[in-house]
Chains A and B, each alone.
Chain A
């Protein structure tokens, strides 16, 4: 859960670009940002799950955010970064091309997500922020992992 729904008016967001769209995350959810390293692929996983990496002894799943948002698989290069976020007690790495900036904003600047009849948008975009003529989609992370498979039938 992103710690946003509190009474602090001012809060900070970390923004990044995927192709020509701008996205941002609540900075409170971000633990660290690190360079791309090889991920060990997981069998029978959705394409947006790139695999797992070793983060100081913890095994971290890497989610290709571009693929998760339905924008096609990201190509990794030495400049790609992993944003390590804390979601519901788990640590997850988000693969993005690059981090653009840190924005300070207030709740008032957040507008409801326009209805574009897209399930992916409804699932991940919490709202949009208009800033100096730009439009930044505010990403919520609650549904970022694949849906848990139903308990194995006995």
Chain B
């Protein structure tokens, strides 16, 4: 396997985060809300994508990111003004960058012409001319030798072998060099020894120390630098290799380097000649750098090895005065005294926690809730007085358990921002594909909802936005003719309402064409030609399976995903969707979802001797019907008269195949339930046990989807109870299937 493979997943994950950051930042800049830090964040996002992409050799991504980054850098430095036109170009560039990321991921292909045009446009921002995309980034796509210095490895034990050739390099024509480390060099963790080691690798010989500047011991400043080294190198060593050794120390260690051929030609500057060739040979100093006393140089006896190790030791460090930034404040205080420390302090203290751990915690709290319920049941069975200490203690435990559960769920709650952030791009794309002018307004993006819900919000919102732009909004010409601004407004809002999250997508378009919707529904046999429907009922016909109002199937909304599928996916989350519309003024889709998929308020009922849970949100009311409220309809059907209306009666035990024949509805309890498609229905159960908050357990984790069942839970007695999928049970298709099947065996 490619050793890089494990990191790819992380890279793409981070890309997603960076792309969201990029877009959010650019949008803030566009609306004039951004500041210097916004530009920095935007720059960093593109920079990070480029850096990561380089590691995997995603060249076209790196190249595009580089051009983008260059433009952003100009904006960061102030060379490019932050004005709407430039930001608009960058927003489009972020879309192209996202395409590159997808391509790298193996999902789709970048439109090269578009990318090239975009790159030229970006380059045009800074230079006024087009920069070809082919130009490689500054070192970002270099190969493995793209080190600030040439990577070399040396082990001092191997040194004699490495130096073997030096005996026969006495002939002229070699390199001569000398270098004088300053205090500043030592102040950065560098060391003359390290440089000498590298030079040795290149075959340096006749290394000598010039230590005449060393003062008497009493006057020695342990942090100052007094020494200078000279060496010779074989003439065939490329100059660049030698300079590479000193590349990073730069001015902190002035280097004099000359080839003897130039010396012979007299081409070398006299100062350089003076710098070189003066120091006596000290090659032996490095034969054993840790020996106590190497051969003493005639000029000034000095223990080179001790000097070298002293430079590395902690105590006698080079003078801090070399760096003016250093103050004499206590280190502890200084640790946080960075330039941006003020900013850092303002950032809320957060920790990153593995999601698995949070999920595990939520599972455990779920267990705690179940155990607490079991305990409560045992205590009530024991007939203890409500004032007994056990009962009181148990009440407190219940309170605490509930609080813990709420707090734990809050950990996983996240603002819907992460989903909303992806939408501006989508809107731009749909707008350009449908040739409409659209402005997206978002509200309430800080509304929090459980992460499990967030992950599943994206698809329905996407479909609703597609629908709003493609079907809801008129073309600019039509709008102008109708006296509206050419630009349509689509509003995406999130809010909390009675313990649920509500997402609204509204447009200021043409509204639902009710006569047309009605005609289609009639022609497709979805409703009777003479059905009497309220405006609202007509509007909601668009959620019926098989309904599509599009005159022609455009490639935006017509991907085989009708509103009925949107509705089903929302229902699968325990949510509801509805539409309200005003002809000529626009439509609003409203979807409401539970705040979490982890717990549910349910009504515990008995049907055919089995315990079931019905989600409370689906139940309108519970009824004990009188015998004459029940009317038979057809061979097997029955309806219940509820305040003048007639709703179908569905025996839950029969619907789930647990008994062959329905019980007398008047002998049981009926739950009046409601769903957007199926309308209302009355579910007949044997008895109601009570209301309870239950922890939702997936059936799919270890098994698979079960028809008419939404999930499972564990009750106080430790047994599994199934949670009814009310919408599926009253779905006419499900019921028809049931009719056409031989009745399932009772178990």
Contacts and interface: CB of A to CB of B under 8 A. Distances in A.
Contact of B702 (A58, A148, A154): A58
A45 interface: yes
B714 interface: yes
A57 B694 CA distance: 12
Most B-side CB within 10 Å, residue of A59, A92, A148:
A59
A29 B627 CA distance: 56
B345 interface: no
Interface residues of A, number: 27
Interface in B550-565: 560, 562, 564-565
A62 to B, nearest CB: 10
Contact of A149 (B545, B564, B705, B708): B705
A60 B702 CA distance: 6
Interface stretch (A47-55, A95-103, A127-135): A47-55
A18 interface: no
Given A52-B703, A58-B702, A44 B656 contact: yes
B701 A40 contact: no
A78 interface: no
Given A57-B366, A154-B545, A154-B565, A40 B610 contact: yes
Interface string B670-713: 00000000000000000000000000011101111111110010
A145 interface: yes
CB-based closest 5 A-B pairs: A43-B656, A61-B703, A40-B720, A41-B747, A90-B702
A145 B704 CA distance: 9
Contact of B568 (A43, A45, A56, A154): A154
A91 interface: yes
A59 B715 CA distance: 12
A89 to B, nearest CB: 9
Given A90-B701, A90-B703, A146-B704, A57 B720 contact: no
A40 B363 CA distance: 21
Contacts of B698: 59
25 contacts: A38-B719, A39-B720, A40-B712, A40-B722, A41-B747, A43-B658, A43-B706, A43-B707, A43-B708, A43-B709, A45-B706, A47-B745, A52-B699, A54-B718, A57-B366, A57-B370, A58-B701, A59-B699, A59-B701, A59-B720, A60-B702, A61-B703, A91-B702, A154-B545, A154-B562
A42 B329 CA distance: 72
Contacts of B722: 40, 42-43
A54 B703 contact: no
A38 B296 CA distance: 92
Interface string A112-140: 00000000000000000000000000000
Nearest to A47: B745
Contacts of A41: 610, 658, 747
B367 interface: yes
B89 interface: no
A43 B723 CA distance: 12
A74 to B, nearest CB: 14
B397 interface: no
Q: Could you say which of B363, B366, B722 has the most chain A C-beta atoms within 10 Å of its C-beta?
A: B722
Contacts of B712: 40, 52, 59
Given A40-B719, A41-B747, A54-B720, 18 more contacts: A39-B720, A40-B611, A40-B712, A41-B610, A43-B722, A44-B656, A47-B745, A52-B720, A53-B720, A58-B701, A59-B697, A59-B698, A59-B712, A61-B702, A145-B703, A149-B705, A154-B564, A154-B565
A42 B725 CA distance: 13
A59 B706 contact: no
B547 to A, nearest CB: 12
B657 interface: yes
A42 B706 contact: yes
A120 to B, nearest CB: 20
Nearest to B706: A42
Nearest to A87: B702
B400 interface: no
Nearest to A49: B703
A93 to B, nearest CB: 9
A91 B702 CA distance: 5
A135 B328 CA distance: 86
B744 interface: yes
Contacts of B268: none
Contacts of B74: none
A60 B722 CA distance: 13
Interface centre among A44, A149, A154 (most CB of B within 10 A): A44
A54 to B, nearest CB: 5
A44 B701 contact: no
A46 B545 CA distance: 28
B706 A57 contact: no
A57 B705 contact: no
B704 A92 contact: no
Nearest to A41: B747
A40 B721 contact: yes
Contacts of B703: 42, 52, 59, 61, 90, 92, 145
B558 to A, nearest CB: 14
Nearest to B746: A41
Contacts of A148: 704
Interface string B634-662: 00000000000000000000011110000
Contacts of A45: 706
Contacts of A149: 704-705, 707
Contacts of A40: 610-611, 712, 719-722
B432 to A, nearest CB: 28
Contacts of A39: 720
Nearest to A86: B702
B370 to A, nearest CB: 7
Most central of A42, A56, A61 by chain B CB within 10 Å: A42
B701 A57 contact: no
A93 B19 CA distance: 45
**A43, A44, A57, A60: most-surrounded residue (chain B CB, <10 A):** A43
B704 A44 contact: no
A127 B706 CA distance: 32
A58 B744 contact: no
A40 B714 CA distance: 11
Nearest to B564: A154
B722 to A, nearest CB: 6
